[in-house]
Amino acid sequence: MRNPENHFAHRTGWLRASVLGANDGIVSTASLILGVAAAQSSHSSIIVAGVASLIAGAMSMAAGEYVSVSSQADTERADLDRERIELDEDHALELAELAAIYVARGLDTELAHQVASQLMIHDALGAHARDELGITEALSTRPVQAGLASAGAFAVGAALPLLLVFIVPRSALVWTVSGASLVFLALLGALAARTGGAAMGRAAMRVTFWGALAMALTAAVGALFGTAL
């Protein structure tokens, strides 16, 4: 007997928001810390900058994710309302439209019509939402969930490099924060890939590369302006 298949598409909503939030939290906060440290700022100034980054970033991620996903939800809702009206006004046309979709996917005309008829008897709007509009229960938008996941993940990600500022001497801060942040990013990429059923090595390398680039550029700007000022 075959084992039940494991699929991961139902995780894409919260997983995307969580990974994006944690990645941004690590990269933006570590980069800001490195930039301020490279500008020869005091230890207290670095702490203030890191805490401000955590708070402002978490709120920004929550608001941005909520607004963007809400916009997508509004579009989906409008499409469903439009489809509901079309089903009421011309049921036969919608049946033919659904059958045509199944024919395009490989069913013969008679079978496609039978399938479309049965599905529309069971749940006409659900069948059209899924097969015509691409809206399913697993992939439907959830603005509050996305906003909270993104904000929480950002705060956790930002807290990792920020914690080092409190425990590492000022003289070793730049190298410690940069090295530890790259490790955090690699672990995040691997964990996200594993959760989503993807290859861990490629994901870890991708996240680490862009994080390293962001931190290097920010540190360079901080050093440049610190020298100039």
Domain locations in the chain as residue ranges: 15-75+145-228, 83-131
Q: Say which residue the tokens 């290097």 belong to.
A: 216
- Look up residue 21 and give its two tokens: 């939030």
Which residues make Cβ contacts (< 8 Å) with residue 166, sequence separation at least 6?
Answer: 47
* In 80-212, beta strands by DSSP E: none
Query: Over the stretch 185-220, which tens digit does the pLDDT of each residue have?
Result: 888 888 777 766 667 788 788 888 888 898 888 888
Q: Write out pLDDT tens, residues 27-60.
A: 999 999 999 988 888 889 999 999 999 999 999 9
Segment 5-31 shows an average pLDDT of: 69
Distance of CA 170 to the CA centre of its chain: 34
Contacts of 218 (CB under 8 A, 6+ apart): 31, 32, 34, 35
Task: Inform me whether the pLDDT recorded for 156 exceeds 50.
Answer: yes
Give the integer Cα–Cα distance in Å for 122 and 117. 9
pTM, 2 dp: 0.68
DSSP state of 175: H
Q: What pLDDT digit, counting tens, does each position of 107-127 carry?
A: 888 888 888 888 888 878 877
